[in-house]
Amino acid sequence: MEKLSVDEGIKAVKLARRAIETYLESGEVIKERYTGAFEKQRGVFTTLTKSGDLRGCIGYPYPIKRLDEAIIESAISAAVNDPRFPPVKLKEMDEICVEVTVLTLPEKINAKPVELPKHIEIGKHGLLIKMGPFSGLLLPQVAVEFGFDAEEFLSHTCMKANLPPDCWLTGAEVYRFEGQIFKEVKPRGEIVEVKERGAC
């Protein structure tokens, strides 16, 4: 994966915050477009946390949009369209940290079901599981935050897809991907590249 520079990561997080705050204030979707890495189609997720707890997380597993466009749309959706939470209020943004995870292309793990855990490196890989009309995704940092081993990570990704926790043993397709994470240390604060934070 072509990684973003630190400067590009900072720009990505600032873009996500600006997209959310502009939308919450005026209902407008910003139209900013950047050059370089932002012109390329990439999968991306925006994660919002408040006092360390998840407040919203939505994104695009696959590279179907320009990175800048995908950041803007995923950021707004994380704030107002995550069905697990009520929509974020503008004043809340003073308490929310914004995190952007840029993904590699999901790669199907072609292995016997019982062998799948051997192909998953905790802290490096995120998972996408598909079975019939259902699919679920967990970012790489989730397994680290919750202390999952590979089998637990597979089971929780199945449950994220509203499937039985053992679906990875009964025919589900399992994909792995990597993510590059940039996050505000505190609301509106310094933006750093991080390795083991966040949840979705």
Residue 196's pLDDT band (boundaries 50, 70, 90)?
low
Burial class (CB in 10 A: 0-12, 13-18, 19+), 53: exposed
Q: Do domains 6-103+179-194 and 107-177 have the same CATH topology?
A: no
Phi-psi label, residue 147: left if phi above 0, alpha if psi -120 to 50, beta otherwise: left
Token output for 2: 């072509």
Supply the CATH classification number for the domain 6-103+179-194.
3.30.700.20
Q: For residue 198, what pLDDT is reported? A: 45
Q: For residue 194, what pLDDT is reported? A: 86
- Assign domain 107-177 one CATH number from 3.30.1490.150, 3.40.50.300, 3.30.470.20, 3.40.50.720: 3.30.1490.150
Token pair 């932002």 is found at 38
| pLDDT tens digits for range 50-77 | 999 999 999 999 999 999 999 999 999 9
Token output for 176: 């792995």
pTM for the predicted model, two decimal places: 0.92
Position 10: which residue type? I
Q: For residue 200, what pLDDT is reported? A: 52
Model confidence at 191: pLDDT above 90:
yes
CB-based contacts of 121: which residues, under 8 Å, 6+ apart? none
Boundaries of every domain in the chain: 6-103+179-194, 107-177
CB-based contacts of 75: which residues, under 8 Å, 6+ apart? 15, 16, 17, 19, 20, 46, 98, 100
Q: CB count, 10 Å around CB of 136?
A: 19
- Alpha-carbon gap, residue 77 to 192, rounded angstroms: 23
Q: For residue 138, what pLDDT is reported? A: 96
Model confidence at 45: pLDDT above 60:
yes
